[in-house]
Structure 1
Amino acid sequence: MNLVPKTPTTKGPAQMFTGDVYFDVIARGEAPSRLRVNLVRFAPSARTAWHMHSLGQTVHVTDGVGLIQSRGGEVISMRPGDSVYTPPGEWHWHGASADSFMSHLAMWEDDDATWGDHVTDEEYGAGESI
Protein backbone atom coordinates (compact mmCIF):
# COMPACT_ATOMS: atom_id res chain seq x y z
CA MET A 1 0.00 0.00 0.00
CA ASN A 2 1.23 3.49 -0.84
CA LEU A 3 -0.11 6.84 0.28
CA VAL A 4 0.01 8.95 -2.86
CA PRO A 5 0.66 12.62 -2.10
CA LYS A 6 -1.69 15.14 -3.66
CA THR A 7 -0.36 16.69 -6.85
CA PRO A 8 -0.81 20.43 -7.43
CA THR A 9 -3.99 21.58 -9.13
CA THR A 10 -3.29 22.24 -12.82
CA LYS A 11 -4.97 24.75 -15.13
CA GLY A 12 -6.27 23.08 -18.27
CA PRO A 13 -4.21 24.10 -21.32
CA ALA A 14 -5.84 26.51 -23.80
CA GLN A 15 -5.32 24.13 -26.72
CA MET A 16 -7.61 21.57 -25.01
CA PHE A 17 -10.14 23.79 -23.22
CA THR A 18 -12.25 26.91 -23.68
CA GLY A 19 -12.63 28.97 -20.50
CA ASP A 20 -11.28 28.30 -17.03
CA VAL A 21 -10.79 24.61 -16.28
CA TYR A 22 -8.71 23.10 -13.48
CA PHE A 23 -7.94 19.49 -12.70
CA ASP A 24 -6.44 17.36 -9.97
CA VAL A 25 -4.94 13.96 -10.71
CA ILE A 26 -6.69 11.44 -8.44
CA ALA A 27 -5.21 8.21 -9.82
CA ARG A 28 -2.59 7.36 -12.38
CA GLY A 29 -2.20 3.61 -12.33
CA GLU A 30 1.21 2.03 -12.53
CA ALA A 31 1.68 -0.84 -15.00
CA PRO A 32 0.01 -3.16 -15.49
CA SER A 33 -2.86 -0.86 -14.42
CA ARG A 34 -4.00 1.69 -17.01
CA LEU A 35 -6.41 3.50 -14.68
CA ARG A 36 -6.57 7.29 -14.96
CA VAL A 37 -8.89 9.47 -12.85
CA ASN A 38 -8.95 13.28 -12.70
CA LEU A 39 -11.24 15.61 -10.78
CA VAL A 40 -12.01 18.35 -13.32
CA ARG A 41 -13.60 21.70 -12.37
CA PHE A 42 -15.20 23.87 -15.07
CA ALA A 43 -16.22 27.53 -14.66
CA PRO A 44 -19.55 28.50 -16.27
CA SER A 45 -19.42 28.01 -20.07
CA ALA A 46 -15.98 26.33 -19.88
CA ARG A 47 -15.60 23.14 -21.89
CA THR A 48 -13.22 20.71 -23.50
CA ALA A 49 -12.32 20.75 -27.16
CA TRP A 50 -13.60 17.88 -29.29
CA HIS A 51 -11.62 14.78 -28.36
CA MET A 52 -11.71 10.99 -28.31
CA HIS A 53 -10.08 8.26 -26.26
CA SER A 54 -8.82 5.03 -27.79
CA LEU A 55 -10.27 2.97 -24.90
CA GLY A 56 -13.28 5.18 -24.07
CA GLN A 57 -13.99 7.53 -21.17
CA THR A 58 -16.49 7.81 -18.33
CA VAL A 59 -17.39 11.10 -16.67
CA HIS A 60 -19.22 11.21 -13.33
CA VAL A 61 -20.67 14.57 -12.27
CA THR A 62 -20.01 15.47 -8.64
CA ASP A 63 -21.30 19.06 -8.54
CA GLY A 64 -23.15 21.60 -10.69
CA VAL A 65 -24.73 21.30 -14.11
CA GLY A 66 -22.82 20.07 -17.13
CA LEU A 67 -23.27 19.41 -20.83
CA ILE A 68 -21.87 16.62 -22.97
CA GLN A 69 -22.23 15.80 -26.66
CA SER A 70 -21.00 13.16 -29.09
CA ARG A 71 -20.30 14.42 -32.60
CA GLY A 72 -23.58 14.45 -34.51
CA GLY A 73 -25.60 13.69 -31.36
CA GLU A 74 -27.80 15.70 -29.05
CA VAL A 75 -26.36 17.76 -26.22
CA ILE A 76 -27.12 16.01 -22.93
CA SER A 77 -27.51 17.83 -19.61
CA MET A 78 -25.71 16.21 -16.66
CA ARG A 79 -26.29 16.69 -12.94
CA PRO A 80 -24.63 15.37 -9.75
CA GLY A 81 -24.71 11.58 -9.68
CA ASP A 82 -24.97 11.22 -13.47
CA SER A 83 -22.35 9.14 -15.28
CA VAL A 84 -21.84 9.18 -19.05
CA TYR A 85 -19.71 6.68 -20.97
CA THR A 86 -18.25 7.53 -24.38
CA PRO A 87 -17.00 4.43 -26.20
CA PRO A 88 -13.58 4.05 -27.83
CA GLY A 89 -13.01 6.40 -30.76
CA GLU A 90 -16.15 8.50 -30.19
CA TRP A 91 -15.55 12.24 -30.66
CA HIS A 92 -17.15 14.22 -27.85
CA TRP A 93 -16.89 17.29 -25.61
CA HIS A 94 -18.05 18.08 -22.07
CA GLY A 95 -18.21 21.14 -19.88
CA ALA A 96 -20.24 23.39 -17.59
CA SER A 97 -23.55 25.02 -18.41
CA ALA A 98 -23.53 28.77 -18.97
CA ASP A 99 -24.85 29.59 -15.50
CA SER A 100 -23.25 26.94 -13.28
CA PHE A 101 -19.89 25.63 -12.29
CA MET A 102 -19.53 21.87 -12.86
CA SER A 103 -17.13 19.28 -11.48
CA HIS A 104 -16.74 15.73 -12.65
CA LEU A 105 -14.51 12.75 -12.28
CA ALA A 106 -12.98 11.84 -15.66
CA MET A 107 -12.00 8.17 -15.89
CA TRP A 108 -10.11 6.52 -18.73
CA GLU A 109 -7.51 3.82 -19.28
CA ASP A 110 -4.73 5.24 -21.41
CA ASP A 111 -3.01 8.41 -22.48
CA ASP A 112 -3.94 7.87 -26.12
CA ALA A 113 -6.43 10.75 -26.49
CA THR A 114 -6.79 12.62 -29.77
CA TRP A 115 -7.67 16.30 -29.49
CA GLY A 116 -9.49 18.20 -32.22
CA ASP A 117 -10.99 21.63 -32.79
CA HIS A 118 -12.46 23.78 -30.06
CA VAL A 119 -16.23 23.52 -29.62
CA THR A 120 -17.70 26.58 -31.30
CA ASP A 121 -20.05 28.94 -29.47
CA GLU A 122 -22.78 27.77 -31.86
CA GLU A 123 -22.19 24.08 -31.01
CA TYR A 124 -22.04 24.88 -27.29
CA GLY A 125 -25.14 27.11 -27.49
CA ALA A 126 -27.20 24.23 -28.88
CA GLY A 127 -27.20 22.76 -25.38
CA GLU A 128 -28.22 25.89 -23.55
CA SER A 129 -31.92 25.40 -24.31
CA ILE A 130 -31.94 22.24 -22.18
Structure 2
Amino acid sequence: MAKHEEVKNGVIFPVGEKNDAFAQFFVGQSYLQTLVADPKVNVGVGNVTFEPGCRNNWQIHRDGFQILLVTGGEGWYQEEGKTAQFLKAGDVIVTHDGVKHWHGATKDSWFEHIAITAGKPEWLESVSDELFDSLED
Protein backbone atom coordinates (compact mmCIF):
# COMPACT_ATOMS: atom_id res chain seq x y z
CA MET A 1 0.00 0.00 0.00
CA ALA A 2 1.29 3.46 -0.92
CA LYS A 3 1.90 6.17 1.65
CA HIS A 4 -0.56 9.05 1.98
CA GLU A 5 -3.48 7.20 0.36
CA GLU A 6 -5.80 9.94 1.68
CA VAL A 7 -4.35 12.36 -0.90
CA LYS A 8 -6.04 10.48 -3.74
CA ASN A 9 -9.38 11.84 -2.49
CA GLY A 10 -8.15 15.45 -2.36
CA VAL A 11 -6.67 17.26 0.61
CA ILE A 12 -8.14 20.77 0.39
CA PHE A 13 -9.54 20.91 -3.14
CA PRO A 14 -11.03 18.09 -5.24
CA VAL A 15 -8.62 15.81 -7.07
CA GLY A 16 -10.24 16.48 -10.43
CA GLU A 17 -10.23 14.34 -13.51
CA LYS A 18 -7.40 12.31 -15.04
CA ASN A 19 -5.01 14.83 -16.54
CA ASP A 20 -5.43 13.50 -20.09
CA ALA A 21 -4.81 16.90 -21.74
CA PHE A 22 -1.23 16.90 -20.39
CA ALA A 23 -0.64 13.13 -20.19
CA GLN A 24 2.07 13.29 -22.85
CA PHE A 25 4.15 15.44 -20.49
CA PHE A 26 3.95 13.04 -17.51
CA VAL A 27 5.32 9.63 -16.61
CA GLY A 28 2.50 7.93 -14.69
CA GLN A 29 -1.00 9.16 -13.85
CA SER A 30 -1.80 12.67 -12.67
CA TYR A 31 -5.09 14.42 -12.00
CA LEU A 32 -5.98 18.08 -12.50
CA GLN A 33 -8.64 20.27 -10.92
CA THR A 34 -8.50 23.76 -12.45
CA LEU A 35 -9.10 26.35 -9.72
CA VAL A 36 -8.57 29.60 -11.68
CA ALA A 37 -8.89 29.87 -15.45
CA ASP A 38 -10.02 33.46 -15.87
CA PRO A 39 -8.88 35.03 -19.17
CA LYS A 40 -8.75 38.43 -17.43
CA VAL A 41 -6.19 37.06 -14.95
CA ASN A 42 -2.71 36.26 -16.27
CA VAL A 43 -2.22 33.40 -13.80
CA GLY A 44 -3.55 29.85 -13.89
CA VAL A 45 -4.14 27.95 -10.66
CA GLY A 46 -4.65 24.22 -10.49
CA ASN A 47 -4.69 21.41 -7.97
CA VAL A 48 -2.40 18.68 -9.34
CA THR A 49 -2.41 15.20 -7.82
CA PHE A 50 0.22 12.57 -8.65
CA GLU A 51 -0.08 8.82 -8.13
CA PRO A 52 3.02 7.20 -6.58
CA GLY A 53 5.94 7.39 -9.00
CA CYS A 54 4.27 9.94 -11.28
CA ARG A 55 6.28 12.96 -12.35
CA ASN A 56 6.13 15.57 -15.04
CA ASN A 57 8.72 16.15 -17.75
CA TRP A 58 11.50 18.64 -17.48
CA GLN A 59 10.03 22.06 -18.25
CA ILE A 60 10.86 25.74 -18.50
CA HIS A 61 8.39 28.55 -17.85
CA ARG A 62 8.81 31.36 -20.37
CA ASP A 63 7.76 34.92 -19.60
CA GLY A 64 6.51 33.90 -16.20
CA PHE A 65 7.03 31.70 -13.17
CA GLN A 66 5.53 28.83 -11.22
CA ILE A 67 4.77 28.60 -7.51
CA LEU A 68 4.02 25.21 -5.95
CA LEU A 69 2.16 25.01 -2.64
CA VAL A 70 2.47 21.43 -1.39
CA THR A 71 -0.77 20.31 0.27
CA GLY A 72 -0.25 16.59 0.79
CA GLY A 73 1.87 13.50 0.37
CA GLU A 74 5.55 13.33 -0.49
CA GLY A 75 7.29 14.44 -3.66
CA TRP A 76 10.36 15.77 -5.40
CA TYR A 77 11.36 19.05 -7.04
CA GLN A 78 14.58 19.46 -8.99
CA GLU A 79 16.18 22.24 -10.97
CA GLU A 80 18.72 21.31 -13.64
CA GLY A 81 22.21 21.01 -12.18
CA LYS A 82 20.96 20.95 -8.58
CA THR A 83 20.15 18.21 -6.08
CA ALA A 84 16.50 17.12 -5.93
CA GLN A 85 14.54 18.50 -2.97
CA PHE A 86 12.23 16.23 -0.96
CA LEU A 87 8.78 17.84 -0.57
CA LYS A 88 6.03 17.41 2.02
CA ALA A 89 2.85 19.27 3.00
CA GLY A 90 3.56 22.91 3.81
CA ASP A 91 6.55 23.28 1.48
CA VAL A 92 6.60 26.14 -1.04
CA ILE A 93 8.64 26.18 -4.24
CA VAL A 94 9.19 29.22 -6.47
CA THR A 95 10.48 28.53 -9.98
CA HIS A 96 11.68 31.62 -11.80
CA ASP A 97 11.42 32.38 -15.49
CA GLY A 98 13.73 30.28 -17.65
CA VAL A 99 14.67 27.67 -14.99
CA LYS A 100 14.60 24.05 -16.21
CA HIS A 101 12.92 21.84 -13.59
CA TRP A 102 10.56 18.94 -12.84
CA HIS A 103 8.38 17.81 -9.95
CA GLY A 104 6.32 14.81 -8.94
CA ALA A 105 5.55 12.11 -6.38
CA THR A 106 8.05 9.87 -4.64
CA LYS A 107 8.09 6.21 -5.71
CA ASP A 108 5.79 5.11 -2.89
CA SER A 109 3.59 8.10 -2.01
CA TRP A 110 0.69 10.06 -3.40
CA PHE A 111 1.53 13.75 -3.83
CA GLU A 112 -0.52 16.90 -4.30
CA HIS A 113 0.27 20.56 -4.87
CA ILE A 114 -1.41 23.74 -5.96
CA ALA A 115 0.39 25.09 -9.04
CA ILE A 116 0.21 28.84 -9.64
CA THR A 117 1.56 29.46 -13.12
CA ALA A 118 2.17 32.59 -15.16
CA GLY A 119 3.55 32.43 -18.67
CA LYS A 120 3.72 29.42 -20.92
CA PRO A 121 5.56 26.20 -20.11
CA GLU A 122 7.98 24.76 -22.60
CA TRP A 123 7.75 20.99 -22.15
CA LEU A 124 10.98 19.07 -22.60
CA GLU A 125 12.22 15.48 -22.22
CA SER A 126 10.92 13.11 -19.57
CA VAL A 127 12.81 12.57 -16.33
CA SER A 128 14.77 9.38 -16.86
CA ASP A 129 13.98 6.28 -14.82
CA GLU A 130 17.68 6.18 -13.90
CA LEU A 131 17.57 9.68 -12.34
CA PHE A 132 14.21 9.07 -10.66
CA ASP A 133 15.17 5.65 -9.28
CA SER A 134 18.35 7.12 -7.77
CA LEU A 135 16.37 9.46 -5.47
CA GLU A 136 16.03 8.38 -1.85
CA ASP A 137 13.27 9.70 0.40
TM superposition shift of 1:19: 0.2
Q: One-letter code of the match for 1:104?
A: H
Matched, 1:78 2:90: no
Task: For 2:81, give the aligned amino acid.
Answer: G
Matches within 5 A, 1:27-66: 27-31=36-40, 33-54=41-62, 55-66=64-75
Root-mean-square deviation (CA), in Å?
1.5
3-state SS in 1 of match to 2:131: helix
Measure the CA separation in 1 of the matches of 2:67 and 2:122: 16
Q: CA deviation at 1:29?
A: 2.8
Q: Which deviates the most, 118-127 or 56-65?
A: 118-127
CA distance in 1, matches of 2:36, 2:17: 13
How many matched pairs? 121
TM-score (norm 1): 0.86
Q: Distance in 1 between matches of 2:58 and 2:39?
A: 27
The correspondence for 2:130, drawn from 122, 125, 128, is 122
Alpha-carbon distance in structure 1 between the residues aligned to 2:66 and 2:53: 21
CA contact (8 A) 1:10 1:24 kept: no
Aligned residue identity for 1:109? A
Q: Percent identity?
A: 30
Q: Higher helix fraction: Structure 1 or Structure 2?
A: 2
Q: Residues 61-83 of structure 1, C-alpha deviation per residue, up to 9 Å, x if partnerless? A: 10100101001110000100101
1:100 pairs with 109, 115, 118, which one?
A: 109
Unaligned runs of 5+ in 2: 1-13
**Contact residue 51 and residue 114 of structure 1 kept, 8 A:** yes
Query: Is 1:88–2:97 an aligned residue pair?
Result: yes
Are the equivalent residues in 1 in contact too, given 2:55–2:102 (CA < 8 A)?
yes
